[in-house]
Each structure stands twice: as C-alpha cells, then as structure tokens.
Amino acid sequence: MLQFRPRGDDRIGIGFTASRRIGNAVARNRARRRLKEVARLHLPAHGLAGFDHVLVARKAALDRPFAELVADFVDACAKARRAAAPGRGS
C-alpha cells in the first residue's frame, strides 16, 4: 500500500512501516527490506516530486515475487500521480 502527502518542497520523501500483523520482527524486517529495495530502484523515476511517500507492508510482501512488487509499486505511483493531478485534490 502506498500513502502520499504534499511536503511543501520539491524533494521526494519516503517512509516504511510494517505492523505486527505481518509477523515477528524477522518477517517485518524482511518485508521492509524488500520495500526499501523497490523504492531505491524505482522511486526516482516514478515517485511524485514534492510529496512524502509511505510504503505500508502487507503479508504478501514477504513472498510475492520481486517483479510483481515492482509492478504493484509502479501502479500505485501512477494512481497517486492521477490523484494528485491539479484539480483533483489529494
């Protein structure tokens, strides 16, 4: 899941979270590491300048193929871009 919010400048902010529902600390850390790698590789190209992004880990992030995680992230960024378009409000 991707959440976003305007930040007031032209930088791209990023944060990660994984609740206990994901599993134990090892599982939560693994999910966060996978999301961090997706963001490291694809946020510069697909993220919204001037917005903070928060990636919320779900259980599926633990064993979902990496290519599908990337596709999900790119789709979520595209939806966020449409929602943040002028005239739509966010």
Domain segments of the chain as ranges: 2-70
Confidence of residue 87 (pLDDT cuts 50, 70, 90): low
User: CATH assignment of 2-70?
Assistant: 3.30.230.10
Identity at 26, one-letter amino acid code: V
> How many Å apart are CA 31 and CA 64, to the nearest integer?
10
Say whether pLDDT at 68 is over 80: yes
37: phi then psi, degrees, rounded to nearest 5:
-70, -40
Q: Following CA atoms 78, 80, 85, 90 in sequence, which dihedral angle do they give, to the nearest 10 degrees?
A: 170
pTM: 0.86
> How many Å apart are CA 6 and CA 4, to the nearest integer?
7
